[in-house]
């Protein structure tokens, strides 16, 4: 059997009375070249543990299990484990955890299944929660080396954008703080069943051992990032003044102290400049606790 054979897949799903759930972002891969490539480029290899989110019927899972020592999958839909028991019957290194990736205790899960192993995440994500999943994985500071995921093509451009690029937004800055992102390859809508309305792309985030900047207060820096991008047509200074309620003159002093041009827009600002601005604003408010 080939898990990407459309006729075979249709028959399998019909036999199990399975119908696709749009609400759960169910578009299954049926292009045979995509999953082996994702597994290879995602770092599935001997000695490695892989966490997959949303295995579906296991088309990517099988490629991961062929290459890695152990694969643990978190799947929300209770209708899928019986199908996976059939499609993955030939593997003894796969475990399916039924649950919501936004609620599962990921740190405990990794400790339980992957103790002492390097861990990577590899998944064809449900697109309705792409950003929350990525931010949960990154902000939890899990012992993960890399995250390789399929996302919408436009999301891939935003997630991997560098300062100065048109697609750059608050999410690009957040990703760049935790990881080094890159787009690996594009995937056409026709590679899925059912075909979504949008094309997709596979991205890889290599998690940083240490952050690229050290603001005195990470939360304040990200609040400024969100504020500056909230009105991206305005200059960063004007957008930040509306977002924070800090007067423009006072903010202009913070920009000067941070050495940042007050006429630039948010997308031109680097993480180092956001960190410097955050520290200058904190300094004005007497909140840096001696740092910054
Ligand atoms: N990996 C399969 C493939 O490539 O064909 C399926 C990918 S499909 C785009 C997304 C998968 O994520 C589905 O299996 C869906 O049921 C599952 N899913 C949706 N929301 C989830 C959640 N909150 N937690 C875990 N899995 C979820």
Tens digits of residue pLDDT in 2-51? 899 999 999 999 999 999 999 999 999 999 999 999 999 999 999 999 99
Assess whether pLDDT exceeds 70 at residue 290. no
Tens digits of residue pLDDT in 204-234? 999 999 999 999 999 999 999 999 999 989 9
State the number of CA atoms in the 13 A half-sphere of 241 facing the CB. Answer: 16
Contact 59 CB / ligand 1 (< 6 Å): yes
Atom of ligand 1 nearest to the CA of 127: 9
Contact 261 CB / ligand 1 (< 6 Å): no
Q: How far apart are CA 263 and CA 5, in angstroms?
A: 56
Tens digits of residue pLDDT in 88-144? 999 999 999 999 999 999 999 999 999 999 999 999 999 999 999 999 999 999 999
Contact 58 CB / ligand 1 (< 6 Å): no
Q: How far is the CA of 75 from the centre of ligand 1 (A)?
A: 6
Give residue 289's pLDDT band: very low, low, confident or very high (50, 70, 90).
low
Q: How far is the CA of 56 from the centre of ligand 1 (A)?
A: 6
Q: How far is the CA of 20 from the centre of ligand 1 (A)?
A: 11
Contact 96 CB / ligand 1 (< 6 Å): no
């Amino acid at each position: 059997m080939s898990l990407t054979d459309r006729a075979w897949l249709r028959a399998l799903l019909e036999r199990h009375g399975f119908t696709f759930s749009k609400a759960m972002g169910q578009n299954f891969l049926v292009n045979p070249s995509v999953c082996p490539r994702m597994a290879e480029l995602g770092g599935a290899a001997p000695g490695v543990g892989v966490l997959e989110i949303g295995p579906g019927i296991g088309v990517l899972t099988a490629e991961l299990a062929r290459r890695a020592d152990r694969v643990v999958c978190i799947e929300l839909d209770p209708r899928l484990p019986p199908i996976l028991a059939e499609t993955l019957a030939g593997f003894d290194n796969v475990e399916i955890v039924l649950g919501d990736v936004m609620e599962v205790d990921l740190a405990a899960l990794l400790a339980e299944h992957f103790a002492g192993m390097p861990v990577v995440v590899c998944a064809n994500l449900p697109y309705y929660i792409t950003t929350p999943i990525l931010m949960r994985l990154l902000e939890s500071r899990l012992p993960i080396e890399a995250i390789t995921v399929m996302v919408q093509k436009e999301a891939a451009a935003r997630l991997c954008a560098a300062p100065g690029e048109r697609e750059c937004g608050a999410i690009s800055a957040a990703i760049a703080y935790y990881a080094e992102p890159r787009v690996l390859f594009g995937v056409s809508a026709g590679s899925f069943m059912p075909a979504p309305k949008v094309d997709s792309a596979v991205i890889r985030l290599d998690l940083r051992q240490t952050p690229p900047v050290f603001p005195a207060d990470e939360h304040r820096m990200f609040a400024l990032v969100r504020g500056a991008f909230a009105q991206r047509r305005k200059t960063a200074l004007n957008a930040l003044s509306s977002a924070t309620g800090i007067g423009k003159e006072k903010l202009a002093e913070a920009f000067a102290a941070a050495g940042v041009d007050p006429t630039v827009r948010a997308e031109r600002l680097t993480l180092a400049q956001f960190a410097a601005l955050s520290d200058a604003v904190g300094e004005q408010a007497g909140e840096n606790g001696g740092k910054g």
